[in-house]
Structure 1
Amino acid sequence: MRLYLIRHGQTESNVNHVLDTVHPGAPLDETGLAQAETLADRLAGEPIEAVYASDLTRAVQTAQPLADRLGRPVHQLPGLREIPAGVQERNTDWSIYVSALVRWAEEPHFRLERSEDAHNFFARFDAAIARIAQAHQAAAAVSHGAAMRVWVPQRANNIEVPNTRELANTDVIILEGEPASGWLVRSWADEVLLPEHPSGRSR
């Protein structure tokens, strides 16, 4: 299948660099609402059969214009939520949160207090993607920056780990494949990628 995995539009929390991961989360600001409309324009001609989003407000609001343009509902999947910041929630210093996610490569059981570990995250995100893949040949899914940056490199065969590519609000990662056989990233934020495995990476 082809999966259009999309980061949500801009929120006030993004602008102020505030960790905002709990439900329902901040809504889109004026810029974010405009980004969602532009996203709908960009993707309206793609062969998208269904539109999904996490159940956080900003993800649903980002997905809605595209769904409206395609004449389809927004299906909310909590499994697409952001990785929770736990005790770091509302912090403007992201260093501890980011370091915790980096530690997952060596310590998948590690988690911040009141957050989740790598096993929990991948189980629920994988389940959400599998549900989409079982039902469609092409679908859009609006999720969140940290979740996408962590999940895609671990599930796609042609993205290096660690991945340092930028992912701005409403950027789109286009993947092709299946949960059982793995995924290839066709493009990351409009950068077309080659299908080969990254140099030096084993799978």
Structure 2
Amino acid sequence: MRLILIRHGQSGNNLIWEQTGGSVGRHPDTPLTDRGHEQARKLAAAVADGVLPWRIGALYCSLMTRAVQTAAPLADALDLPLGHLDIFESDGPYDEDPATGARTPHAGAGRTALLGLSRRLELADDVDESGWWRGDVENADGRLARATRVLEEVRQRHTSLWPTDSGTAGGSAARDAVALVTHGHFTQYLLRAFLSIDTIGGWIDIDNTSVTLLEEQAAYGNTPVAVRINWTPHLTEAERTT
């Protein structure tokens, strides 16, 4: 299995944190900033020009606005549909009481708003004008389990893409990776699930629109390998944001 994890571009909430070190004024479903849109465009152009060592055969994104906005130019560049998996940010969309910090679930963007971000989205029938999220604020104990479930679903859904022992893929030797456009915090759990890390005492930096390459290497008994983490070949140092 080959996976490409992509974090969304700089969001309004990211900018608030950068400027204030806090979350006062955050939006429950924050869009990208102008810089975030530019990061997404540069990523799409670089991928189309062949910056990645693998081609993308399937593309998924979180239904949070910032992730769809990041994935949209990439989907256009690759002429791929934007299916979606359970790869929203940790806790899900939520409102936060600025006085108490209490969090309540937010439904996220409605169907028309989402399709306005990208017509390539393939939405489930139950995504309607009221939004897409029906759950509570996610319990922290559920994050790793969700990441594990996502990886298993990808594995089962795209067996034709994975390289065989001879080094070619069952369906197409060129288009042999699945890309997930997701979030900085949830990427921590996707990495842990892929590498079988039950607990971790630190944090892995994941910059906006950074690329993380993960592969199970057949030559070594399908050993999971983090080939690259937090890679931003499409951005200059000055263009990188967290």
**Pairs aligned (count):** 169
Counterpart in 2 of 1:32? Answer: 36
The percentage of aligned residue pairs carrying the same residue is 33
CA distance in 2, matches of 1:72, 1:87: 30
Instruction: Give CA-to-partner distance per residue, 1:58-96, whole Å, 9 cap, x none.
Output: 11111111111111111122x10111179883769x9x9
CA distance in 2, matches of 1:40, 1:53: 14
Instruction: Please point out which of 217, 227, 240 is paired with 1:186.
Output: 227
1:146 correspondence with 2:185: yes
How far apart are residue 126 of structure 1 and its match?
Answer: 2.3
How far apart are residue 175 of structure 1 and its match?
Answer: 0.5
Superposed, which structure 2 residues align to 1:26-175 within 5 Å?
A: 26-44=30-48, 45=50, 46-77=54-85, 79-84=86-91, 89=96, 115-136=137-158, 137=161, 138-156=177-195, 161-175=200-214
CA distance in 2, matches of 1:83, 1:69: 28
Residues 167, 189 of structure 1: 8 Å contact kept: yes
Residues 148, 194 of structure 2: 8 Å contact kept: no
Structure 2, unpaired ranges of 5+? 18-22, 104-135, 162-176, 233-242
Instruction: Give the match's secondary structure for 2:67.
Output: helix
Structure 1, unpaired ranges of 5+? 98-113, 192-203
* Structure ID, larger Rg: 2
Instruction: Give the match's secondary structure for 2:55.
Output: coil
Superposed, which structure 2 residues align to 1:191-202 within 5 Å?
A: none
Q: How high is the TM-score relative to the length of structure 2?
A: 0.59
Instruction: Give the match's secondary structure for 1:139.
Output: strand
Give the AA of the match of 2:96.
E
Distance 1:42 1:123, change over 3 A: same
Instruction: Give the match's secondary structure for 1:82.
Output: coil
Instruction: Please point out which of 171, 176, 180 is paired with 2:215.
Output: 176
The alignment yields a C-alpha RMSD, in angstroms, of 3.4
Give the AA of the match of 2:6.
I
CA distance in 2, matches of 1:8, 1:142: 6
Instruction: Give the match's secondary structure for 1:189.
Output: strand
